[in-house]
Amino acid sequence: VGLFPTRGGMDRRLKIDGTEYRGGLDFKVVNGKKVITNVVFMNNYLYGVISREMSPSWHIEALKAQAVCARNYAINNLNKHKEYGFDLCNTVCCQAYAGTRFETDNSYAPVDDTSNQILTYNSKPAELYYSSSMGSRTEDVKNVWGSNVPYLVSVDNSYEDTENVTNGVWSGSITSDEATTIMRNKGYDVG
């Protein structure tokens, strides 16, 4: 069962619990649970993502780069949550998305100006990731997720003002037993 606009196409808006969404809604039961999915065109989805992942007040070229990166992420992660009956969730597990709630006039041009543009590597959509803070140096993807992607390697990021950005400086602690367990579970022989 679905609720899709008949006039105005997928740009029509629906409001649920005070939040406005473009497109349509798909209602289904998956594994005994009711699932409501917002069905949107890619650009309409990205209007809602770009306004959550970056400040719409930032330079247009930065917002365009974010739009391309977010588009690549969405394409590469279709079916990420297929066991729940949808492609992408609306949290930082995928990309932050809140329908039209945070869109501004600055949300549209970066997405429209890069419409259908993605970055590729060896003729396939490149895996692109982003975060609010990277620290003074990024890490090789193989050391984070265990995959080997030749262009996701450690780079200098010393220009970032880590003292004055959210999550720029943080700390945590684990016991030596916890560290040993983690390392052994990853296949390392720890003394």
pLDDT given for residue 169 in this prediction: 80
Dump strand ranges (E) for the chain.
Answer: 2-3, 13-16, 19-22, 24-30, 33-39, 120-121, 124-125
Spatial distance between the Cα atoms of 10 and 31, rounded to a whole number of angstroms: 28
Q: What is the DSSP letter of 28?
A: E
Grouped pLDDT means (10 residues each) for the chain, 191 residues: 65 84 89 90 94 92 96 96 93 91 93 97 94 85 90 91 81 93 90 76
Q: Which residue has the tokens 């997928």?
A: 10
Distances (CA, A) of 89 to 48, 67, 145, 165, 191: 13, 17, 20, 26, 41
Spatial distance between the Cα atoms of 77 and 39, rounded to a whole number of angstroms: 15
**Which tokens go with 106?**
């600055």
Q: What is the DSSP letter of 154?
A: -
Q: Which residue has the tokens 């022989």?
A: 189
Spatial distance between the Cα atoms of 57 and 105, rounded to a whole number of angstroms: 10
Distance of CA 169 to the CA centre of its chain: 22
pLDDT given for residue 171 in this prediction: 86
pLDDT given for residue 131 in this prediction: 83
Where would I find the H helices in the chain?
Answer: 42-53, 60-76, 108-113, 141-144, 176-185
pLDDT given for residue 8 in this prediction: 63
